[in-house]
Structure 1
Amino acid sequence: MNTFNMPAMCAARAKRSPCLVSLVQRMGPFGRMPRRHAFMLRPEQIHPVVRIAHRQQGGLVIPDRIIFDHELVLIVKGSGQWKIGGESYGYATNDLLFVPPFVPHSFHDGGQSQTKHLAIHFDFEAMPPSASEVLADRAPYRVQFTHGLKIAQQRALFSGHRWARDLVRLVTDQNSGGVVESAQASMRLAGVLLEMLSERKDERSAADPIILRQQARVNVVVDHMSENLCGTINHRALEQVSKLSTSRLQALFREVTGYPPMDYLRRLRVEKARRLLADQQLSVKEIAGLTGFRDTSHLSKVFRRIDGLSPARYREALLAGRQEK
């Protein structure tokens, strides 16, 4: 394999440094690609870290390669062919292309010297492999979003589309060198990615009966949890409701929600506890009983783990916010 192992000082240079492009890719030939390990990511965990964001013109010709992170490519002007995962597709002005990690791909614009595009390389901070590690050391991986969500591989936008405008601003922000601007670039990218996921959700759910069946089974269990929050819910009860083994239900729940069933139940209970804490007539002990926790100590322990503060502190902050209004 032809691996680009650039000096360490190259990685430490400014974000605009051309050498960083070499650090995010490996050129072919690759031989047989090993299986990619899947990392689950929930929508609320989408906090992208922008690695490279640049404009380029004068042609889009990239031979076979893989990248170690993710990339969005916006075709500002021009047309051509790109190949990904063994399939060839055409692209044109205003197309938005998504390239996942460790998937062989290439671009060729047919020799059009006027082709212009934006390229944005990014990682997800909330998941391994760490966004700060040396990219060339990564083992093949892929990101799988929960709830059947997917980012479209190719999306035809129109001139002046909000996503295109946001990506243009993102490139400007990222290359300004400012800390605040860099954070704004990540926020813009998060917004675009979430909208891309939301757009694909309806299409995929309507078209894929397997996903519909999976979501229906999970919904039955979630409804049972919601209706019996103050009661006893264990694995055996969930097996009876779902008519699935514990191991199968665990796998299905993780795939759809990103959480195992009992963890999801605890979050439902904390969510209800938050609502009840707004009622000053209820004591924390009463709220613990109404949400299925053994006692106030159990409620506080789980509440702290999920929200980072005690129920009493949460109530104080909630009431203080009301008074300020």
Structure 2
Amino acid sequence: MSDVTIFAPSPTLTVTVESAGGDDQIHIHAGGQGVWQARMLRRLGISVTMCCTLAGEAGEVIRHLLEDDGIRVVAIERQGRGSAYVQDRRDGERVTVGEESGDPLERHDLDELYTAVIREGMRSEIVILSGPADDDVLPADTYRRLAADLRPAGCTVVVDLAGERLDASLEGGVDVLKISDEELREHGLQDESVAGVVDAMHRFRERGARTVIVTRAGDPLLLLDDEGVLEITPPKLEVADSRGAGDSLTAGVVAGMVRGEPPRAAVTLGAAAGAMNVTRHGLGTGDAETIAGLRERVGTRTVHEEDAGTSARVSPDGLAALAGQEDDS
């Protein structure tokens, strides 16, 4: 049994060419959102089971790379092409040389993967639903079904998704939603002030998320839960590569939750993990001792919504209570 189960339907084989001292260096890793989350969780001392599909030559290599990182792999092996890319970063910028998203999952493979996630999730109690390499890999409704089935089974469901997959997971109901302000804009956010973002967070809660965390590029993070709005300010560090910072943040939050912290407290560990990740070229990497030190430098403050200019709202529980009062009158 692992502390956390991650649903990662199609991990990616990544090949990166870099330059060091005038010589080429070739780095081969497993990649993708769920992999980067798993890698940071392992750095923080959390055991992880990854439920995924593995296809073709890329899948064979990915399994070995994941297991070398200490990740327990529960894989549905299938025929066809897996996800992979080759990037040239010798000039400092990522240039994609070749890429394939892999073949969509067939119905039988998806059924087997779904069953594996439910089984392993019930053993872990915390499940992260991560996105596929490509939108066409599996139906977005899979996320609604998983969220709807995992929570009644006693699992805490954490998501960092966008688009149709986010909408579907909210319909199923999630415990923690992490989303970026960029993804909020894709969902129609026009007012990017704190008030505008908090209003959007309330709407996500009304749609099925208990706790909402929004990352805002260089601005402080925001968290909304039953207690209200919390602003979280990570330490400022020099950025080597910003990719994967959000996945490291999600992993840090989950690591805190595994240790018994509520999301409101665990978000400071997430902020420290995300800050550490941007200083490194390896995604989902960092040192647990350094992250713990950075956590002590994360600032937090309560945001009073009336001061931020947000409209007054009543929670679903509050609405139910008001309805009961009206019935009694």
Q: TM-score, normalised by structure 2?
A: 0.27
**Which entry has the higher C-alpha Rg, 1 or 2?**
1
TM-score, normalised with respect to structure 1: 0.27
| Greater strand fraction, Structure 1 or Structure 2 | 2
